[in-house]
Amino acid sequence: MTIDGLCVEATDTYDVINPATTDVFAQAPQATEDQLDAAVAAAQRAFLTWRETDVAVRREVMVACAVRMRAHADELIDWLVREQGKPFVVAQGEVMGSARWMEFTAGLPLPGEVVEVDGVKVGEVRRKPYGVVGAIVPWNYPLISAVWKIAPALLTGNTVVLKPSPFTPLATLRLGELLLDLLPPGVLNIISATDDLAPAMTAHSGIRKLTFTGSTATGKKVFAAAAEHIKGVTLELGGNDPAIVLADVDVADTAQKIFAAAFANSGQVCSAIKRVYVHADIHDALVVELASLAGKAVIGSGLDETVTVGPLSTQAQFDKVLDLMNDAAEQGGVFAAGAPEAVDRPGYFIAPAIITGLPDTARLVTEEQFGPALPILSFTHIDEVVSRANDTPYGLSASVWSIDIEAAVSVASRIDAGTVWVNQHMKPRPQLPTAGVKASGVGAENGAWGLESFLQIQTIAVA
Reference 146, options 194, 214, 240; nearest CA is 214
Is there a shared CATH topology between the 2-237+440-461 domain and the 241-422 domain?
no
Is pLDDT at 118 greater than 90 in this prediction?
Answer: no
Reference 110, options 158, 75, 42, 67; nearest CA is 158
Helix or strand (DSSP H, E) at 374: strand 373-379
pLDDT digits (tens, 9 = 90+) for 302-338: 999 999 999 999 999 999 999 999 999 999 999 999 9
Q: How far apart are CA 117 and CA 22, in angstroms?
A: 66
For 358, list phi and psi in degrees, rounded to 5. Answer: -90, 145
Share above pLDDT 90 across residues of the chain, in percent, rounded to a whole number:
98
Q: How far apart are CA 199 and CA 33, in angstroms?
A: 10
Q: From residue 263, give the alpha-carbon distance in Å to each of 99, 145, 291, 362.
A: 24, 19, 12, 20
Q: Where are the alpha helices (DSSP H) in 107-156?
A: 142-155
pLDDT digits (tens, 9 = 90+) for 29-57: 999 999 999 999 999 999 999 999 999 99
Confidence of residue 446 (pLDDT cuts 50, 70, 90): very high
Question: Which residue type, as a one-letter code, is found at position 263?
Answer: F
Q: How many CB atoms lie within 10 A of CB 203?
A: 16
Give this prediction's pTM.
Answer: 0.97
Q: CB–CB of 114/454 below 8 Å?
A: no
| Mean pLDDT, residues 155-166 | 99
pLDDT digits (tens, 9 = 90+) for 53-89: 999 999 999 999 999 999 999 999 999 999 999 999 9
- Over the chain, what is the mean pLDDT? 98
Q: CB–CB of 347/389 below 8 Å?
A: no
The domain ranges of the chain are: 2-237+440-461, 241-422
Q: How far apart are CA 238 and CA 392, in angstroms?
A: 11
Reference 209, options 172, 176, 234; nearest CA is 234
Q: Where are the alpha helices (DSSP H) in 331-422?
A: 363-366, 382-390, 405-412
Produce one character per residue of 283-310: b if its CB has 16 or more CB atoms within 10 Å, e if not: beebbebbbebbeebebbbbbeeebbbb
Return the CATH number of the domain spanning residue range 2-237+440-461. Answer: 3.40.605.10
Is pLDDT at 376 greater than 90 in this prediction?
Answer: yes
Q: How many CB atoms lie within 10 A of CB 74?
A: 9
Catalytic site positions: 236
Task: State whether residue 369 is helix, strand or coil.
Answer: coil
Length of the chain: 463
CB neighbour class for 172 (10 Å; exposed up to 12, middle 13-18, buried from 19): buried
Q: CB–CB of 440/234 below 8 Å?
A: no
Strands 397-401 and 159-163: unpaired
Domain 241-422 has CATH 3.40.309.10: yes
| Mean pLDDT, residues 115-131 | 92
| Mean pLDDT, residues 235-243 | 98
pLDDT digits (tens, 9 = 90+) for 261-291: 999 999 999 999 999 999 999 999 999 999 9
| Mean pLDDT, residues 420-445 | 97
Check residue 462 and give its pLDDT: 82
What residues form DSSP beta bridges with 217?
A: none
